[in-house]
A and B are shown apart, each in its own frame.
Chain A
Amino acid sequence: TQLLEQSPQFLSIQEGENLTVYCNSSSVFSSLQWYRQEPGEGPVLLVTVVTGGEVKKLKRLTFQFGDARKDSSLHITAAQPGDTGLYLCAGVSGYALNFGKGTSLLVTP
């Protein structure tokens, strides 16, 4: 199983701040997915990055896939309380989608 390491594990910030979370691996992935999970719910897909160096934007969220396709980052601009949740990166290894341990983000007003 290819391991995905996420950092930081926890992040607590004020509304309006910017933040970046990271997803790293020693293995190459054909693609990486980012999910957000809210309390009491299952993860929901935000984006899939496929090409090395690719940058995708989803409103205030910017996702980047590393050139070597071993890492990815998620940058949130002007965070809002609605961004609060667990952010998970995931990549395919073998037959299944394997997840990192997540970054738990809390945005306070």
Chain B
Amino acid sequence: AQSVTQPDIHITVSEGASLELRCNYSYGATPYLFWYVQSPGQGLQLLLKYFSGDTLVQGIKGFEAEFKRSQSSFNLRKPSVHWSDAAEYFCAVGENTGFQKLVFGTGTRLLVSP
């Protein structure tokens, strides 16, 4: 069965500093990978996704992620964090099946210090 590991429960970054959130997955086939952000009182918003092709994926809000098959990783990055980026971030892997079931990691809470 597929699984997702986000090793960092929470991370604090200074505003303007770079960010990298780690995600490792376990899946037998080529995975569909996603990063979602959850802000208080709001639904999960898709930041970016990887299905195939270029392993460096650009998303919204200045985020990008790189798929590394050899490391089973899909880390999320942003070169300069803004205070509004403070939220909970979830990595997810999707089954390559008709129903596209998602398995989520436990999330990383990003805190942004002034």
Task: Check if A and B associate.
Answer: no
